[in-house]
Amino acid sequence: DVKVTQSSRYLVKRTGEKVFLECVQDMDHENMFWYRQDPGLGLRLIYFSYDVKMKEKGDIPEGYSVSREKKERFSLILESASTNQTSMYLCASSLTPTSGYTFGSGTRLTVV
Partner 1 sequence: SQQGEEDPQALSIQEGENATMNCSYKTSINNLQWYRQNSGRGLVHLILIRSNEREKHSGRLRVTLDTSKKSSSLLITASRAADTASYFCATDRAGGTSYGKLTFGQGTILTVHP
Strands annotated E in 1-112: 4-6, 10-13, 19-21, 23-25, 31-38, 42-51, 54-57, 64-70, 73-78, 87-94, 102-103, 107-111
Between 92 and 109, CB nearer to partner 1 = 92
Q: Which is nearer to partner 1, 13 or 101 (CB)?
A: 101
Residue 81 CB, nearest approach to partner 1 (Å): 21
Footprint on this chain of partner 1 (rule: CB under 8 A): 4, 31, 33, 35, 40-45, 48, 50, 56, 58, 88, 90, 92, 94, 96-106, 108
